[in-house]
Amino acid sequence: MDDLITRQEIEEEVEEINSEPEREILRRIYRKRHNVLLYSIFLFLYTIRGLVKRILNIIQGISFVMLGMSILVYWLEMPGPRTVEFRGPFIIIIIIFIILLCSSVALSWFYDILLFRLSPPNIRFFLSD
């Protein structure tokens, strides 16, 4: 009796066999939709790359100039009697400008790396400033 296959078991096997192509089709559709979404994100980010790079370059330039000016003003004020009063705020300002400068450089680099990661495998492109 154990060797006999019931009708229900046969129907389950038939359903599994029939559902495999459907699953494969759904997987292909999902992969295609996923690839189209990634390509759309890539095109959007590549389109606004110039604007993003300009904004980050402006932040870098302003941070660098203000950092240099802050250090220069601190050094020029150092012999004065109020140096101790301004030491804390100057250090805080210098740290803020260093963080802004480093983060804008890092964001610019990460943005380019993100574009390289999102680019389709059959597209080779060169990112210039």
Question: Structural domain boundaries of the chain?
Answer: 1-47, 49-129
Residue 63: predicted pLDDT: 93
Residue 57: predicted pLDDT: 94
Low-confidence ranges of the chain (pLDDT < 70): 1-20, 82-83, 129
Task: Write down the H helix ranges in the chain.
Answer: 7-47, 49-77, 83-118
Residue 1: predicted pLDDT: 46
Instruction: Kindly report the pTM of this predicted structure.
Output: 0.69
Number of alpha carbons in the 13 Å side-chain half-sphere of residue 101 = 14
Residue 125: predicted pLDDT: 77
